Amino acid sequence: QVQLVESGGGLVQPGGSLRLSCAASGIIFSVNAMNWYRQAPGKQRELVAEISRGGSTNYADSVKGRFTISRDNAKNTVYLQMNSLKPEDPAVYYCMARWVVEYWGQGTQVTVSS
């Protein structure tokens, strides 16, 4: 059974930081590209960051220079370090694993408010 479990979301003030984690099980983690998406109320789900199985990364323009995606294949975990959080960053953040098929986590809520 494939499971992707996100954690690390919460409430943070503007300018603050959060580190999201996504622990995967039931997949061969190292061959999967790993992605973070987010969806805000009333908006479409959008790609935030992706990391290939080789470690190459790609970011949405809106988060470049603020967010960093990384992976630890020994722990079957992908991370999203989010710094300088802005009022436009709140959303449910989802982890997605992609190889032959896509698997999604249940999401973790990020709220930015003073």
Q: E-assigned strands of the chain?
A: 3-7, 10-12, 18-25, 33-39, 46-51, 57-59, 67-72, 77-82, 91-98, 102-104, 108-112
The predicted structure's pLDDT at residue 114: 85
**Mean pLDDT of each 10-residue bin along the chain, 114 residues long:** 96 97 94 97 97 97 98 97 96 96 97 91
Is 57:51 a contact under the CB 8 Å cutoff?
yes
The predicted structure's pLDDT at residue 4: 97
The predicted structure's pLDDT at residue 90: 97
The predicted structure's pLDDT at residue 113: 87
The predicted structure's pLDDT at residue 80: 98
What integer best gives the mean pLDDT of the chain? 96
How many CB atoms within 10 Å of residue 49? 23
How many CB atoms within 10 Å of residue 36? 26
By residue count, the chain amounts to 114
Residues pairing with 71 in the sheet: 78
Tell me which amino acid residue 88 is: E
